[in-house]
Structure 1
Amino acid sequence: MRAAPDERSSGLGLEVFDPAPVGVAVTGGRDRRLVYANAVYRSVFGDRTLRAIAHEAFSEHVDRDYYYGLADHVLATGEPVTVTEAPVKLAYADTGPQERFFTFSLSQISLSGGEPGVLLVCAEVTEQVTAARQIQDLAEERRRLLQRYQKLGSVGAQILWVADAGGGVIEPSLSWEKMTGQSWEEFRGDGWLDALHPDDREPSALAWKEALERVVPLWEHTYRLRLVNGAYRHFSIRAVPVLEGDAVVEWVGTCTDIEQEWRASRRQELLDRAAAATADITRLEEMLTALTQVIVPDLADGCIIYLIPPAPERFGDASISAHQVVSAVRPGLPELPEIGEVTFDAGNIFTRTVRRLRPTYRAFPRGEPNPGVAPAGAEAWLVSAKANSVVLVPVIVDGTVAAMVAAATCGERSPISAADVALIGQMFEHAHDPLSNAIEYRRTQRVALALQHSLLPEPPAVPGLQIAARYRPSPAAAEVGGDWYDCFRLRDGATMLTIGDVAGHDLPAAVTMSQIRNMLRGLAVDREEPVGDILRRLDIAMETLYAEETVTCVLARVERPEDGRWRLNYAVAGHPPPLLVTGDGDARFLEEGRSPILGVIRDGPRDSAVEPLLPGGTVLLYTDGLVERAGEDIGKGLDRLRDLAAPLAHKPLEAFCDELLAGLSNGGDDDIAMIAVRLPSTPLDEWDPPSPAGSGPGTSY
């Protein structure tokens, strides 16, 4: 060793401390001079004496006087002193200024000549102290977290839980037990699934399993949780994995009651769905069907909507008639009965609800409905479906009850809540304008159809001939259209057939159609002349009376001249050609006698044509609604008509017409009118000459 400059030989062999792994130093004399220091000491403290170290390191320490007097105490008493984990803050030879921790041992030593000295042995314990403090901090943090967890679990709105890496619950949760009533034994592992709504157990288990397999950073899920009182509420569950490296140690999570938020979100969602369902619909039945599909299954398990016609006798002791228009039922339940028209007496709950103008609600034990809560036929369904509640919600449109919604919940499902009853009412309130338009449309369409039928005559009874007529209004138009047909007998015994179409789908078109049809009838009976000339005179009359109108028309006479053979005298003004179907099943269009539509060429010539008619043949006149389709050439529609009519040659005439309508009408935007006449199939010499109009045996038509 190399001694300090003022070092005297001690004779103690201090060199033995040179290889020591700890710091060793010796001080002597009153001035506490440094007599000896090994390499470890010098590498840390340099040439500082013990006094210098104390004054520099502990000058700001609350126990600085204690540290200052340690060496003096050892010299005075001869007792050794040990200081553990002392914080020494100074500029070190190897690192510069910082705080480090040392354990010091001070003892008395005799130097040469009997001079007392102090032997210092020091070992740095910074790493141990730091590690211990970290462990202590972690323990304290864990203690506090555990305390917070326990407190939150006992008083908070959230449920806190811990699961192992496999997803099984491993710690009791006071908040879960308080909320659900499940004990720790019932809750642990996968027992928590038993507290969920039966319909939510499997989906929740599958979602949790997927989260465990994927180790998602945050798992979020919503389910219905059964509370202590047996009611279900929606909870949001959130969980995160606790990792050590890449390995999952456990999962921690919360369950939060979100019933109010869920109800608000669902309410808006259902209102939006109801609005979307009625946005582009004009037909009332389709609109009500769309609304029942929103109600079932989200709000109820079964639903019937009745239409209630306006009637002044609703008040007092009068009964109410209603018509079931649509119904819906949740899959798995019995089908609702088709009731149709039903009458409710004055004392029925249905009638009272109409008069009160506000909903009526009834809850009852499963499958045991109160008498009178449903119309005849529906009560049996409530029993078989194990219904537990029924609500009647009047639908008020333009100040009057236009419909009634009857909804029911069944089985384990909770009875309809007041909030859901209000939501059903709000759905129909928000749909008021579309419903009002649809109801008005429906009423107008029915009035229009009745008016249209009143303008179209029944075919007359003509000996030897069968005559049938059909009219189908446009499904897309509420107003009456301009299609017409007519059939009447002339004084000479011939039968006049006509069919036509005035442009337009409104009441003026129907009025014009009626007037032109009557005018044509008058012109036809006024004089005997070719049918083309009759159309020419009609065209002249239209120039004066209906200058802005355009009309297509076919006018035909079914006549039997003196030779006894039937024939068709016809003229076509811009209209689809007549179809002739022979008794042998051949079908072809009659293409002669054609001229432009009426109202375009004034006082122009109108051609006529004559077509022989063989026994058993059928002549069909029709409007373009039977053959036209949007975006398609009319020739394809004519081919379809011919191909469908030919195999029907031997069908009864009524069936012939019905099957053509069924096979060709496609719900387009145009009306369809058609009139057909079939000749007798009996040989001609067995027939008497035609009788004057109004006489002779009746025929089927």
Structure 2
Amino acid sequence: MVEGVRPDGEREERRLSAAEPGLWRHVVEQLGTAVAVLDPAGRIVAVNPAAERLLGRAAAVMYGQDLHDLCHRDPGGARIPREHCPLLRALAEGRSTRGDDDRCLRGDGRLIPISWSTTPLTDDGVSQGMVVLIVETAADRHARAERAEQAERAERVERAARTSALESLTERLTLVAEITDVLGQTLEVDEALARLSRLLVPRLADWAAVDLRVGSHQVHRVAVTGPEGRDALQEDWRGHLPSAGEAAHSPLVQVLNGGGPVLQDRADMDAPPDSPLAAVHSAFLGATGAASVITVPLGTRRQVTGALTLVRTDPAHPFGTGDVDVVSDIGRRVGLVIDNARRFGRQRAVAEAMQRNLLPPLPRPGRIQLAARYQPAPAGSQVGGDWYDAFMLKDGTLALVIGDVEGHDLTAAAGMAQLHGILRSLAWDHAGPTGAVVDRLDDAMHAITTVPMATLVLALVEGPDTGPWTLRWTSAGHPPPLLLTPDGNAQYLEAGQGLLLGADLGAGGHRPSAAHALPPGSTLLLYTDGMIEVPGSDLDTGLGRLRRHVLALAHEPLDTLCDRLSSLMPGSTDDIALLALRLPVP
């Protein structure tokens, strides 16, 4: 039985055949061909799932609808007059028929070519309607298959394009991240630009040029990087460039004057230059064989430090807008590094000048020779608190001081200057042991200065101008003095060691003093820990290295010895102070 709809809207059951009611469910519903059952008036009373798919409509929507009016169309897509419809005529006459060149209007509005066939339904000779089988024609199935294949090909192409774009974006972001990391490792402009060039060429471009503004209108091309084997061309294009000016409209001039990034192709580069700077830059692009060029500012529009120019020479692989965005980001980051480096350079110059001005000139104690060196830390504004001093006491004794205040900044340098003045005052007329002077300095340090901790050696060289001489000293947590004698022996004076300044000595505690005879012709070195402490090396290794260097330079003049010792400590990350004394030979 098949459930249908009477004209009055009430549902009824129509007998399709003498078969069991399960026939529809087990056969018709699983049939791959679309099947629709019409009542004698041509209204739909049942459809199978294949008909729902073909007609593009749900069964519940189609029940009670006139099949002819709903979806039967001629080959041109127009409605077929009912009196001319072969399907309705077969229904009225109760006979079988078929059609091969009609169209069906789907629920989505699409027309599809179909063929159909009908079989009348009768009960005791009375017409009960008909069964209509609808088949989409092979031509349309082929067209649909071809369209589906085309759509699949298009999707594959689009998917590949998306994948390629994602890979390209990932590569660009990785490059920006690497450049950011590399630039953050140095505050030296030359080193930063060298690292930048190694990342840009050849990964992103065939040539790279960096121009920096010097003064208001002067431009200096500080870096040119290209393919291996083109070193001569790179050297030829470095150096000062003509004035940038302000009225010119060439891309490089506009970028240097605060304009945005510019992308040029070969046709753009053929435009005649409108300024001397543009002429030089145009000649550079011609020498590199540029086919596509990006020029971006270094820094921001409010603070343009210079310009970055990237060149590609292959016309088949020009730069795109995505490249412009990436290079613009790189330009901003490079500009910030250069600006910070320049600020650092000015700060460091001021700090070094302050530090050197705080260090006193050396006295001239008769035939005794004195030499000193100060070398700031190689990185950062770390002028530090390393210091030396040499002065004559009230009784004519020569006092030597080497010290290191905690910290590596201008505060440490200021604290060093405070200790320097206090120690001179305390030692000037004190006739007692050196340990007592250092203890008095420790007592006064927290009350008079802002220094939290410090180390130092206070040494007195006693004896007439012709000798003999005795060294008396106290060390407050500082590396030991090094004595080099004419017989080729170099020894560290380990005695006289006490706690550093700022440490708690406890009730009744005091720092020891020590004494040692100084042979004629001997050399005494006082130094800070930058001379012996190198990252990755322990203190004993550093002391041994310094001792070997001093022995190798034993016969050099005192100034030469100090210069050579300072240059032999390339791995130190701290500032260095060195005070050297050499006694005369009778």
* Superposition TM-score, scaled by structure 2 size: 0.61
Q: What is the match of residue 623 of structure 1? A: 528
Q: What is the match of residue 452 of structure 1? A: 355
Aligned counterparts of 2:519 and 2:272: Cα–Cα separation in 1: 68
CA shift, 1:554, in A, is 1.1
8 Å CA contact 1:357–1:401 kept in 2: the answer is no
Q: What is the match of residue 571 of structure 1? A: 474
Q: What is the match of residue 310 of structure 2? A: 407
* TM-aligned CA distance change 1:343 to 1:588, over 3 Å: farther
Aligned counterparts of 2:243 and 2:366: Cα–Cα separation in 1: 51
Q: What is the match of residue 245 of structure 2? A: 347
CA shift, 1:282, in A, is 4.2
* TM-aligned CA distance change 1:145 to 1:400, over 3 Å: same
SS in 1 for 2:403: strand
8 Å CA contact 1:565–1:613 kept in 2: the answer is yes
* TM-aligned CA distance change 1:278 to 1:653, over 3 Å: farther
Q: What is the match of residue 506 of structure 1? A: 409
Say which of 640, 644, 657 aligns to 2:545.
640
CA shift, 1:611, in A, is 3.3
Q: What is the match of residue 320 of structure 1? A: 218
* TM-aligned CA distance change 1:562 to 1:512, over 3 Å: closer
8 Å CA contact 1:486–1:497 kept in 2: the answer is yes
* TM-aligned CA distance change 1:268 to 1:547, over 3 Å: closer
CA shift, 1:666, in A, is 1.6
Q: Does 2:331 match 1:331?
A: no
CA shift, 1:634, in A, is 1.8
8 Å CA contact 2:258–2:297 kept in 1: the answer is no
SS in 1 for 2:568: helix
Say which of 557, 563, 566 aligns to 1:661.
566
Number of residue pairs the alignment of both structures matches = 441
CA shift, 1:678, in A, is 3.1
CA shift, 1:590, in A, is 1.3
Unaligned segments of structure 1, at least 5 residues = 1-59, 64-136, 160-235, 239-254, 685-701
Q: Does 2:581 match 1:677?
A: yes
SS in 2 for 1:284: coil
CA shift, 1:457, in A, is 3.7
* TM-aligned CA distance change 1:262 to 1:331, over 3 Å: farther
Q: What is the match of residue 266 of structure 1? A: 168
8 Å CA contact 2:366–2:465 kept in 1: the answer is no
Say which of 590, 594, 599 aligns to 2:493.
590
* Cα RMSD after superposing both structures: 4.7
CA shift, 1:389, in A, is 5.9
CA shift, 1:521, in A, is 2.8
Aligned counterparts of 1:470 and 1:446: Cα–Cα separation in 2: 17
Q: Counterpart of 2:499 in structure 1: which amino acid? A: P
Q: Does 2:453 match 1:550?
A: yes
CA shift, 1:588, in A, is 1.2
CA shift, 1:300, in A, is 2.0
Aligned counterparts of 1:385 and 1:617: Cα–Cα separation in 2: 63
Q: Counterpart of 1:666 in structure 2: which amino acid? A: G
CA shift, 1:501, in A, is 1.0
Say which of 387, 404, 408 aligns to 1:484.
387
* Superposition TM-score, scaled by structure 1 size: 0.52
CA shift, 1:372, in A, is 4.4
Aligned counterparts of 1:372 and 1:262: Cα–Cα separation in 2: 42
CA shift, 1:533, in A, is 3.5
Aligned counterparts of 1:520 and 1:542: Cα–Cα separation in 2: 10
Aligned counterparts of 2:580 and 2:282: Cα–Cα separation in 1: 49
8 Å CA contact 1:334–1:381 kept in 2: the answer is no
Q: What is the match of residue 203 of structure 2? A: 298
* Cα-to-partner distance string for 1:97-132 (whole Å, 9 max, x where unaligned): xxxxxxxxxxxxxxxxxxxxxxxxxxxxxxxxxxxx
CA shift, 1:561, in A, is 1.3
Aligned counterparts of 1:424 and 1:601: Cα–Cα separation in 2: 58
8 Å CA contact 1:367–1:387 kept in 2: the answer is no
CA shift, 1:578, in A, is 1.0
Aligned counterparts of 1:323 and 1:451: Cα–Cα separation in 2: 33
CA shift, 1:395, in A, is 1.7
Aligned counterparts of 2:272 and 2:557: Cα–Cα separation in 1: 52
Q: What is the match of residue 525 of structure 1? A: 428
Which residues in structure 2 correspond to 1:98-109 (within 5 Å)?
none
Aligned counterparts of 2:162 and 2:409: Cα–Cα separation in 1: 51
SS in 2 for 1:540: helix
Compare CA radii of gyration and give the structure with the larger one: 1
8 Å CA contact 2:468–2:518 kept in 1: the answer is yes
CA shift, 1:424, in A, is 0.7
* TM-aligned CA distance change 1:451 to 1:399, over 3 Å: farther
Aligned counterparts of 2:458 and 2:544: Cα–Cα separation in 1: 22
Which range moves more in the overlay, 544-553 or 436-445? Answer: 436-445
8 Å CA contact 1:359–1:392 kept in 2: the answer is yes
CA shift, 1:306, in A, is 4.8
8 Å CA contact 2:532–2:543 kept in 1: the answer is yes
SS in 2 for 1:356: coil
Q: What is the match of residue 515 of structure 2? A: 610
SS in 2 for 1:649: coil
CA shift, 1:341, in A, is 7.5
Aligned counterparts of 1:638 and 1:367: Cα–Cα separation in 2: 66
CA shift, 1:425, in A, is 0.6
Aligned counterparts of 1:368 and 1:492: Cα–Cα separation in 2: 83
SS in 1 for 2:371: strand
Q: Does 2:413 match 1:515?
A: no
Unaligned segments of structure 2, at least 5 residues = 1-94, 99-137
8 Å CA contact 1:334–1:385 kept in 2: the answer is no
* Cα-to-partner distance string for 1:372-391 (whole Å, 9 max, x where unaligned): 45898x99976765455655
8 Å CA contact 2:496–2:512 kept in 1: the answer is yes
Q: What is the match of residue 284 of structure 1? A: 187
Aligned counterparts of 2:460 and 2:522: Cα–Cα separation in 1: 15
8 Å CA contact 1:282–1:438 kept in 2: the answer is no
Aligned counterparts of 1:503 and 1:375: Cα–Cα separation in 2: 56
* Cα-to-partner distance string for 1:183-225 (whole Å, 9 max, x where unaligned): xxxxxxxxxxxxxxxxxxxxxxxxxxxxxxxxxxxxxxxxxxx
